[in-house]
C-alpha cells in the first residue's frame, strides 16, 4: 500500500470534489428577500401548502384541458404550478386565474418534460452524447428553451443526468451513458443551455436536475426498482453529474423513485438536506417525481399519506408533484408541531424565489407572447440544426469493404424494414410537444437526397415485434431488384424510456430472420439501427456488411441519416455506452476493476479466472467506439517526462494521421490507470478528449494536460485525494484500441 497521500481536497462529507460558493448578497437579492418575507407573512398555512403543490393538466383531441377541481384549487390559491400545460392562450388563461382571482395574486410555474426538444425534436439525449460535443448539446437546449418559453412554459423537467450502466433499463435513452466524467460535462452544458445567460430572460427556462439520486442503478435494470450501492460507488460514480448540474446553476432538483440503502430518496434527509443543501450549497427547490410522496407507503417507510407528507417535507422536499399529500396534510402537521413553521416557510420561500428570479412577479404573462409563439416555433434554422445533430449523433459500428457511403452510381435502392417509413418512431420516447407529422422518415430522407435520379423500392418485411413471416418474401424480391439495400431495424420508440425495461435486448420479433433473408441475396447491404438503448446484436454484426447506429433522431432523422449514408457528412459519433455481446454480460462498462483473478488475454477461457464458460468478457462494441469513412493512425504516446512532482501537470501527446481519402473528425480519447491504489481502481478512466478535424493525408499532434488532482479518488477513509506512484496513460480511438505509456508521480 502507498504510504503517502497528496491530499488536495478533504471531503467535508461523502459528497465529492467541487464547490458551490455563495456569492456576496447583492442588492437585488436583498430586495427579493424583503418582498418574499412580506408575502410569506401574509399567507395562510393552506396557501403555503398550495404553493408546494403541483398538478397536471391534460390534452384531448381538441387541445389542452384541465380538470375543474384543479381550476378551483388555482382560484383558491392552492396550486404553486401546473405541468403539461402549454400553448400561450391556455397558459394565459390559467395564469390569469392565479394572479387575478386569488387573494395574494401569486403567479404559477408551468413545467413540462422537454427532454430532447419542445416542438423541434432532436435526437434522444443518449444519441446527442455520442457527439461528444458539449457546445452542440448546449445549443440544443437553448433552442428547446426558446421554443418552450414561446408556448408559455417556464420550467423543464430536464436534464436527466443519471449514470447508467445497464441497457436493460429503458431510461438510458434520457441520459449521457456510462461515464461519470463525460456525463458531468454534458450535465452542466444542458443546464446552461436551458437557463441561458439569466433566468430573467423571457427565453430561459428553469432546469430541473433528475433523478436525485442513483436512479440509473436499479437492480436487474428494472425501472423504479431498488438501488443497493456502496458509499464509494455512490460518491465516485453516481453523484458527480448531479453536482456538476448544481454547480452550473440549476434552479431545481427532482427526487428519484428509488431507495438507496433502504431509504427512498423522497424521504432521505441525508440526501436532500445534508448533502444537497448543506454540503453542495444548493439554493433552489426540490420537487418530487410524479406521486412519489404517496409511494412511500408501498415502499414500506410510511404508514399513510399524512406520515409520508411529514417525512418528505422534513427530509427536504419543497414541492409535491401530483400527490396532494402536502395540500391535504401540511397545515395540520404544522399545527400539531410535527412540521415546524420554519420548515414550511423555507420550502415556500424557495419556490417563491424561483418565480421571482424568472420575473413572474414583475410580469406573470411574460411567457405568454402570441407573437413569439408564431415566430419562435420550428424556425428554419432550428430545423437545419436538428438535421445536423441527427447526422452527428450517428455512430458507424461496422463498414466492411467500404460498403458505405453509397455510391453515386447506385440507380435502385431497396429500403426494407419495419422502421423504414415509420414517422412516429423517429421521435423517440419523451418527445416533448413534437408531432410525428413533422418528422422525416428514412425513406423520405433518401428521396429528398436522391430526387428522381434513383428508384426507391420499399417493403416493411415484418413488423417490429410480431412473429409474422408474411412480408419477408416480398422484401427479398425487392432486394434482388436493387443495386443497394438499406435495412431499417430496431426498437419502436415505446420500447425505451420510462417503464420500458427489457430482459432481451436483441432485435425484437422477426427482424433477425428478415435481415438473414435479405443479406443472403448477396446485394450490398447497410443496416440502419433505430433504438433507445445499446442492443445485443452479435448475429447481426456477423452477417451485416455495414451497421449505422442512428438511435431515434427526432424531427429531421431521415434527412440527417441520409446525409451520412450518402457521405455528405462523414460519421464521427462515438458510443458513450457499451454494446454487450449478450444480456448475460450486463451490466457491462469500460471502467471495470481487475479483480484478484483477471483473465489472461492469451488464454481468456483459463479455468479459475474471472470469466464465463460460454462467452468472452469483452463487449461487441466498447465505450468510445465509432468508425469513420476515413481511417486514423495513432503514433506512440509522447510524455514530457517520465516522473512528475506534486504540482506538475502531466503532458501527453500523440500524432494522429488521417490515412484515408476523406477529411474526417476524430474524437481522440485519453484514459488513465492508477496501478496501485489505497482501494482498487478501474483498469481505465476517461480523463480527457479532443474532437479534431483532420484532412486526408494530414498529421496533427494532439496534446493533453492532466493535473495530478484529476487523478484523485475516494480512499478507505473517504478522503478525496491522489497518490504518488506508478500510472498508465492511454491515448486512442476508443477505450480498447489505445496506445499505452507509463509515468510516475513522486512522493
Average pLDDT over residues 211-238: 97
Q: Do 301 and 446 fall within a single domain?
A: no
Q: Do 357 and 410 fall within a single domain?
A: no
For residues 542 and 603, the model is more confident at 542
**Catalytic residue list contains 289:** yes
- Nine-digit cell at 321? 408533484
Q: Do 212 and 90 fall within a single domain?
A: yes
Q: Do 677 and 647 fall within a single domain?
A: yes
Per-residue confidence band for 23, with pLDDT thresholds at 50, 70 and 90: very low
Residue 34 lies in a domain: no
Q: Which of 592, 147, 176, 198 is nearest to 385 (CA)?
A: 147
Task: Dump pLDDT digits (tens) for 574-633.
Answer: 999 999 999 999 999 999 999 999 998 888 889 999 999 999 999 999 999 999 999 999
Q: Please state, rounded to an integer, the average pLDDT across all residues of the chain.
A: 95
Q: Are the C-beta atoms of 202 and 146 separated by less than 8 Å? A: no
CB within 8 A of 161, min separation 6: which ones? 175, 176, 183, 184, 186, 187, 190, 209, 210, 241, 242, 244, 245
Q: How many CB atoms lie within 10 A of CB 380?
A: 7
In CATH, what number is assigned to the domain containing residue 568?
3.40.50.1700
Given a cut of 70, is residue 3 above it in pLDDT?
no
Q: Do 218 and 302 fall within a single domain?
A: yes
CB within 8 A of 170, min separation 6: which ones? 223, 429, 495, 496, 497, 498, 499, 500, 501, 502, 532, 533
Given a cut of 70, is residue 531 above it in pLDDT?
yes
Q: Do 270 and 313 fall within a single domain?
A: yes
Q: Do 300 and 437 fall within a single domain?
A: no
Cα–Cα distance list, 400 to 130, 489, 490 (Å): 22, 19, 21
Average pLDDT over residues 397-423: 96
- Nine-digit cell at 628? 469513420
Residue 615 lies in a domain: no
How far apart CA 51 and CA 704 sit, in angstroms, is 49
In CATH, what number is assigned to the domain containing residue 263?
3.20.20.300
Helices (H) and strands (E) in the chain, counts: 21, 30
Residue 249 lies in a domain: yes
Given a cut of 70, is residue 281 above it in pLDDT?
yes
Average pLDDT over residues 562-580: 98
Share of the chain above pLDDT 90, in %: 93
Task: Dump pLDDT digits (tens) for 37-82.
Answer: 999 999 999 999 999 999 999 988 788 999 999 999 999 999 999 9
The DSSP string of 577-643 is: SPBPSSGGG-S--SS-B--SS--BTTBTT-TTSS--SSS-SS-SB-TT--B-SS-EEE---EES-SE
Average pLDDT over residues 710-739: 97
Residue 563 lies in a domain: yes
Domain termination site, one of 345, 373, 401: 373
How far apart CA 217 and CA 171 sit, in angstroms, is 11
The DSSP string of 445-494 is: HHHHHHTTSSEEEEE--S-SS----TTHHHHHHHHHH-SEEEEEEE--GG
Average pLDDT over residues 484-510: 98
Q: Do 356 and 502 fall within a single domain?
A: no
Residue 486 lies in a domain: yes
Per-residue confidence band for 28, with pLDDT thresholds at 50, 70 and 90: confident
Average pLDDT over residues 287-313: 98
Q: Are the C-beta atoms of 318 and 347 separated by less than 8 Å? A: yes
Q: How many CB atoms lie within 10 A of CB 547?
A: 25
Residue 642 lies in a domain: yes
Q: Which of 664, 589, 667, 659 is nearest to 622 (CA)?
A: 589
Given a cut of 90, is residue 698 above it in pLDDT?
yes
Burial of 594 (0-12, 13-18, 19+ CB in 10 A): middle
For residues 466 and 401, the model is more confident at 401
Q: How many CB atoms lie within 10 A of CB 485?
A: 27
Residue 603 lies in a domain: no
**Domain span at 685:** 632-745
Q: Which of 501, 624, 644 is nearest to 573 (CA)?
A: 624
Per-residue confidence band for 8, with pLDDT thresholds at 50, 70 and 90: very low
Continuous H helices in 174-216: 180-195
Average pLDDT over residues 547-565: 98
pLDDT of residue 25: 54
Burial of 392 (0-12, 13-18, 19+ CB in 10 A): buried
Average pLDDT over residues 354-377: 98
Q: Do 518 and 561 fall within a single domain?
A: yes
Catalytic residue among 133, 179, 289, 425: 289
How far apart CA 474 and CA 369 sit, in angstroms, is 52
Domain termination site, one of 546, 580, 614: 580
Given a cut of 50, is residue 129 above it in pLDDT?
yes
Domain termination site, one of 338, 373, 408: 373
Average pLDDT over residues 502-525: 98
In CATH, what number is assigned to the domain containing residue 675?
2.60.40.10
Q: How many domains does the chain have?
A: 3
pTM of the model: 0.96
pLDDT of residue 21: 41
Average pLDDT over residues 524-545: 98
Q: How many CB atoms lie within 10 A of CB 25?
A: 10
Average pLDDT over residues 679-707: 98
- Nine-digit cell at 277? 443543501
> For the chain, what is the largest distance between any 2 Cα atoms, rounded to a whole number of angstroms?
81
Q: Do 152 and 75 fall within a single domain?
A: yes
Average pLDDT over residues 238-257: 98
Q: Do 643 and 551 fall within a single domain?
A: no
pLDDT of residue 7: 34
Q: Do 306 and 404 fall within a single domain?
A: no
Output b/e per residue, 450-467; b: 16+ Cβ within 10 A. beeebebbbbbbbbbeee
Given a cut of 60, is residue 734 above it in pLDDT?
yes
Residue 94 lies in a domain: yes
Amino acid at each position: 500500500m502507498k504510504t503517502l497521500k497528496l491530499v488536495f481536497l478533504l471531503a467535508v462529507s461523502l459528497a465529492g470534489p467541487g464547490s458551490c460558493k455563495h456569492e456576496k448578497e447583492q442588492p437585488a437579492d436583498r430586495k427579493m428577500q424583503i418582498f418574499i418575507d412580506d408575502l410569506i407573512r401574509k399567507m395562510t398555512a393552506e396557501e403555503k401548502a398550495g404553493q408546494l403543490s403541483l398538478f397536471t393538466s391534460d390534452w384531448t383531441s381538441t387541445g389542452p384541458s384541465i380538470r375543474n377541481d384543479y381550476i378551483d384549487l388555482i382560484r383558491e390559491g392552492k396550486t404553486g404550478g401546473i405541468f403539461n400545460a402549454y400553448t400561450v392562450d391556455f397558459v394565459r388563461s390559467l395564469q390569469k386565474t392565479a394572479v387575478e382571482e386569488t387573494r395574494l395574486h401569486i403567479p404559477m410555474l408551468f413545467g413540462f418534460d422537454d427532454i430532447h426538444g419542445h416542438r423541434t425534436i432532436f435526437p434522444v439525449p443518449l444519441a446527442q452524447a455520442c457527439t461528444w460535443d458539449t457546445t452542440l448539446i448546449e445549443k440544443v437546449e437553448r433552442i428547446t428553451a426558446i421554443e418552450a418559453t414561446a408556448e408559455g412554459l417556464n420550467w423543464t423537467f430536464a436534464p436527466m443526468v443519471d449514470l447508467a450502466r445497464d441497457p436493460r433499463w429503458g431510461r438510458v435513452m434520457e441520459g449521457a451513458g456510462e461515464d461519470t466524467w463525460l456525463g458531468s460535462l454534458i450535465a452542466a452544458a444542458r443546464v446552461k443551455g436551458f437557463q441561458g445567460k439569466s433566468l430573467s430572460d423571457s427565453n430561459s427556462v428553469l432546469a430541473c436536475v433528475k433523478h436525485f439520486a442513483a436512479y440509473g442503478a436499479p437492480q436487474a435494470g428494472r425501472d423504479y426498482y431498488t438501488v443497493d450501492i456502496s458509499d464509494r460507488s455512490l460518491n465516485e460514480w453516481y453523484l458527480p453529474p448531479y453536482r456538476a448540474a448544481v454547480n452550473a446553476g440549476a434552479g431545481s432538483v427532482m427526487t428519484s423513485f428509488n431507495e438507496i440503502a433502504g431509504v427512498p430518496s423522497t424521504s432521505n434527509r441525508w440526501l436532500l438536506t445534508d448533502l444537497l443543501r448543506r454540503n453542495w450549497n444548493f439554493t433552489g427547490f426540490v420537487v418530487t417525481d410524479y406521486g412519489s410522496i404517496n409511494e412511500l407507503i408501498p415502499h414500506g417507510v410510511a404508514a399513510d399519506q399524512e406520515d409520508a407528507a411529514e417525512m418528505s417535507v422534513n427530509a427536504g422536499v419543497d414541492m409535491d408533484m401530483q400527490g396532494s399529500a402536502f395540500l391535504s396534510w401540511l397545515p395540520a402537521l404544522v399545527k400539531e408541531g410535527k412540521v415546524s413553521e420554519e420548515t414550511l416557510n423555507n420550502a415556500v420561500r424557495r419556490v417563491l424565489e424561483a418565480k421571482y428570479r424568472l420575473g413572474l412577479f414583475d410580469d406573470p404573462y411574460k411567457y405568454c407572447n402570441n407573437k413569439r409563439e408564431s415566430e419562435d416555433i420550428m424556425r428554419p434554422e432550428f430545423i437545419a440544426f436538428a438535421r445536423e445533430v441527427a447526422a452527428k449523433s450517428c455512430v458507424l459500428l461496422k463498414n466492411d469493404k467500404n460498403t458505405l457511403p453509397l455510391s453515386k452510381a447506385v440507380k435502385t435502392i431497396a429500403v426494407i424494414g419495419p422502421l423504414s417509413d415509420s414517422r412516429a418512431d423517429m421521435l423517440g420516447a419523451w418527445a416533448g410537444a413534437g408531432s410525428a407529422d413533422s418528422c422525416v422518415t428514412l425513406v423520405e430522407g433518401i428521396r429528398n437526397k436522391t430526387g428522381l435520379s434513383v428508384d426507391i423500392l420499399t417493403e416493411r418485411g415484418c413488423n417490429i415485434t410480431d412473429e409474422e413471416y408474411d412480408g419477408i418474401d416480398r422484401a427479398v424480391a425487392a432486394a434482388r431488384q436493387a443495386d443497394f439495400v438499406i435495412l431499417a431495424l430496431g426498437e419502436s420508440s415505446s420500447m425505451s424510456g420510462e417503464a420500458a425495461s427489457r430482459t432481451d435486448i436483441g432485435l425484437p420479433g422477426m427482424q433477425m430472420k428478415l435481415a438473414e433473408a435479405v443479406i443472403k441475396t448477396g446485394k450490398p447491404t447497410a443496416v440502419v439501427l433505430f433504438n433507445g438503448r445499446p442492443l445485443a446484436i452479435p448475429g447481426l454484426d456477423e452477417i451485416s456488411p455495414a451497421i449505422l447506429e442512428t438511435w431515434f433522431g427526432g424531427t429531421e432523422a431521415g434527412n440527417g441519416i441520409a446525409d451520412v449514408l450518402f457521405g455528405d457528412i462523414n460519421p464521427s459519433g462515438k458510443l458513450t455506452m457499451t454494446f454487450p455481446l449478450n444480456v448475460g454480460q450486463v451490466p457491462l462498462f469500460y471502467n471495470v476493476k481487475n479483480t484478484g483473478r483477471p483473465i489472461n488475454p492469451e488464454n481468456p477461457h483459463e479455468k479459475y479466472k474471472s470469466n464465463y464458460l460460454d462467452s468472452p468478457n469483452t463487449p461487441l462494441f466498447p465505450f468510445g467506439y465509432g468508425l469513420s469513412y476515413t481511417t486514423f493512425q495513432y503514433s506512440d504516446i509522447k510524455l514530457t517526462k517520465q516522473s512528475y512532482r506534486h504540482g506538475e501537470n502531466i503532458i501527453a501527446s500523440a500524432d494522429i494521421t488521417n490515412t484515408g481519402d476523406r477529411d474526417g473528425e476524430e474524437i481522440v480519447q485519453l484514459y488513465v490507470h492508477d496501478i496501485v491504489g489505497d482501494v482498487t481502481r478501474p483498469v481505465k478512466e476517461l480523463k480527457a478528449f479532443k474532437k479534431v478535424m483532420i484532412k486526408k493525408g494530414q498529421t496533427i499532434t494532439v496534446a493533453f494536460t492532466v493535473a495530478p488532482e484529476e487523478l484523485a479518488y475516494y480512499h478507505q477513509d473517504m478522503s478525496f485525494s491522489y497518490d504518488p506512484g506508478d500510472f498508465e496513460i492511454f491515448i486512442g480511438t476508443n477505450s480498447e484500441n489505445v496506445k499505452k505509456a507509463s509515468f510516475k508521480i513522486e512522493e
